[in-house]
Amino acid sequence: MSFQALARTWRPRRFDELVGQTHVVRALTHALEQDQLHHALLFSGTRGVGKTTLARIIAKCLNCEHGVTAHPCRGDDACGTCREIDEGRFVDLIEVDAASRTGVDDTRDLMDNVQYAPTRGRSKVYLIDEVHMLSKHSFNALLKTLEEPPPRVQFLLATTEPEKIPVTILSRCLQFPLKRLPVAEISAQLQTVVDAESLSVEEGALTEIARAADGSMRDGLSLLDQAIAFGGGRLESEAVREMLGTLGQARVAELVTAIVDADAATALEALAALYAQGIDMRYLLDALATAWQHIATIQIVGDVVDEEAEPWRETAARADAATVQVLYDITLAGVRDLAHAPDPLVGVKMTVLRMLAFVPAGAATGHSNAPGGSERPAKPRAEPARSGPAALREQLGRSTATGSHQADTPATPQATAEEPVANGQAGEPNGQPAARPSSPQETSTVPAADSSPPEPPEPAPETPPPAVSSKPPAEDAEPGTAVPRTESKPDAATAPSPTPTPTPTPTEATPVAEPKPERETESEAAPAAEPAPATEATPAEPAGSNVEQSSTGDDAAGRDHPEDWHALVPRLEVSGFGAQLANNGVCRHLDEKQVVLELARSNEFLATAGAKRKLEAALAAYWAPQPAPKLSVEFVDEARDTPAQRQEQDAEARQRDAIASIENDPFVHRLRDRLGAQLRADTIKPNRRSAAAQQREER
Give the model confidence (pLDDT) of 216-255 as tens digits: 999 999 999 999 999 888 898 888 988 887 766 677 788 9
pLDDT of residue 625: 84
Q: How many CB atoms lie within 10 A of CB 4?
A: 9
Tell me, what's the pLDDT at 520? 39
Confidence class of residue 496 from pLDDT cuts 50, 70 and 90? very low
Which pLDDT score is estimated for 599?
86
Q: What tens digit of pLDDT does each residue of 442-495 get?
A: 444 333 434 344 444 444 444 444 444 434 444 444 444 443 443 434 443 334
Check residue 694 and give its pLDDT.
53
At 294, which amino acid appears?
H
Q: What pLDDT digit, counting tens, does each position of 610-627 carry?
A: 888 888 888 888 888 888
CA distance 128 to 43: 10
- CB-CB contact of 632 with 595 (8 Å): yes
Report helix, strand or coil for 566. helix
**Rounded (to 5) percent helix, strand, coil in the chain:** 50, 10, 40
Beta pairing, strands 40-44 & 124-129: unpaired
Count of C-beta atoms within a 10 Å radius of residue 3: 6
pLDDT of residue 699: 53
Which among 382, 387, 393, 405 has a CA at the least distance from the CA of 699? 393
* Cα 556 to chain centroid, rounded: 55
Query: pLDDT for 355-382, tens place per residue?
Result: 999 887 655 544 333 333 334 333 333 3
Evaluate if residue 522 carries a pLDDT over 50.
Answer: no
Question: Residue 142: which of 177, 133, 151 has the closest Cα?
Answer: 133
* pLDDT attached to residue 103: 85
131 has a pLDDT exceeding 90: yes
Predicted confidence at residue 628, as pLDDT, reads 82
Query: Are 483 and 473 spatial neighbours (Cβ–Cβ below 8 Å)?
Result: yes
Residue 567 reports pLDDT greater than 60: yes
Alpha carbon distance 207, 237 (integer Å): 9
CA 375 from centre of chain: 25
Domains of the chain: 6-177 (3.40.50.300), 183-244 (1.10.8.60), 249-365 (1.20.272.10), 391-410+482-537 (no CATH), 559-678 (3.30.300.150)
Q: How many angstroms from the chain centroid is the CA of residue 558?
A: 58
Cis status, amide bond into 384, omega within 30 of 0? no
Q: Which residues make beta-bridge pairs with 126?
A: 94, 155
Residue 347's pLDDT is what?
Answer: 95
Confidence of residue 640 (pLDDT cuts 50, 70, 90): confident
Distances (CA, A) of 96 to 101, 118, 176, 379: 8, 17, 19, 66
Query: What is the distance between the alpha carbons of residues 559 and 571, in angstroms, rounded to a whole number?
Result: 21
Neighbours of 671 (CB within 10 A): 16
User: Given a cut of 80, is residue 158 above it in pLDDT?
Assistant: yes
**How does strand 200-201 pair with strand 93-97?**
unpaired
- DSSP for 88-130? T--TTEEEEETTT--SHHHHHHHHHTTTSPPSSSSSEEEEEET
pTM of the model: 0.49
* Beta-carbon contacts of residue 406 (< 8 Å; ≥ 6 apart): 463, 466
Give the start-end residues of each E strand in 581-659.
585-590, 594-600, 630-636
Using CA atoms, how far apart are residues 546 and 513, in angstroms rounded to an integer? 14
173-186 mean pLDDT = 93
DSSP 8-state class, residue 580: H
Greatest mean pLDDT among 323-337, 372-386, 507-521, 561-575: 323-337
Share of the chain above pLDDT 90, in %: 34
**Per-range mean pLDDT, top range of 405-409, 415-419, 499-503, 603-607:** 603-607
Quote the CA–CA distance of 331 and 340 in Å, as a whole number.
15
% of the chain surpassing 70 pLDDT: 69
**pLDDT of 220:** 94
Torsion of CA 52, 56, 61, 64, to 10 degrees: 180
Query: 125 forms bridges with which residues in the sheet?
Result: 93, 154
